[in-house]
Amino acid sequence: MLENEKPRRAFGLAATGVLAGCLVGAAGLVAVAPVASAAACSDVQVLFARGTGEPVGIGRTGQAFVDSLRGDLKGESIAVSAVNYPASDDFMQAVAGARDAAAQVQSFAASCPATSIVLGGYSQGAAVVDLITADPAQTFGFGVPMPPEVADHVAAVAVFGNPSQKIGRPLTANSPLYGAKTIELCNGADPVCSPGDDRAAHSLYPQAGLTDQAASFVADRVKGHSSGAPVDEMSAAVTPR
């Protein structure tokens, strides 16, 4: 999310139920056939969803997180992919982001089963991650986000400024498969994810050191992660230090 993004709009994603209304009946993700060869597989694959209004790519918060993660995982090859979605003020498009993210994750898992997948998202992008990882009963009627066996390939999840925290549904508490491997950070009184009203805080995750904190958490879990089961066979909220 850019410096001039309006947090109250992102907050509306959770507080007014805009996203809830548009997700009903959006189930039915389609797995994507493998697209990478074993030779092209990296040790770690990061998939990040940017915030509202950020240019195409992984966004400023996502880039700070990835840069820090590279420093924490020196010697490991790290590939990075962005969720392809508008990230606009039309929060209905978060569903499109969820579909794209779920398809990418399943493709990574099928193509490179030994790769440790890391999921990340900021603001509206955090909501996208919620939609593919949270308990289906808690994701506003979205349905089953991804096949359960895909979770074995995901080493860690990092979300920043997650709107679901604002309404008492943090990913860490509402995802049986991913909650324990998730770090969910809210910057002080960021109104998008807390009862506070420090709007500037929503744009300051890198400056507050929270992308570094998330990278440290993720790196520890990547180091201890073991994946490899073929796809076809196949959490506690953190307070900023």
In this predicted structure, what is the pLDDT of residue 6?
43
Query: Of the residues 107, 153, 202, 203, which is catalytic?
Result: 202
In this predicted structure, what is the pLDDT of residue 228?
47
Assess whether 190 carries a catalytic annotation.
yes
Of 75-79, 108-112, 146-150, 194-198, least confident by mean pLDDT is 146-150
Query: Of the residues 100, 152, 190, 212, which is catalytic?
Result: 190
For each of the domains in the chain, give its residue range(s) and CATH number, in order of start: 42-223 (3.40.50.1820)
| CA separation for the pair 107, 111 (Å, rounded) | 6
Query: Of the residues 68, 116, 123, 203, which is catalytic?
Result: 123
Residues 98 and 139: beta-carbon distance below 8 Å: no
Assess whether 130 carries a catalytic annotation.
no
Assess whether 202 carries a catalytic annotation.
yes
pLDDT band, residue 35 (cuts 50/70/90): very low
Per DSSP, 55 falls in state: P
pLDDT tens-digit profile of 132-143? 998 766 555 554
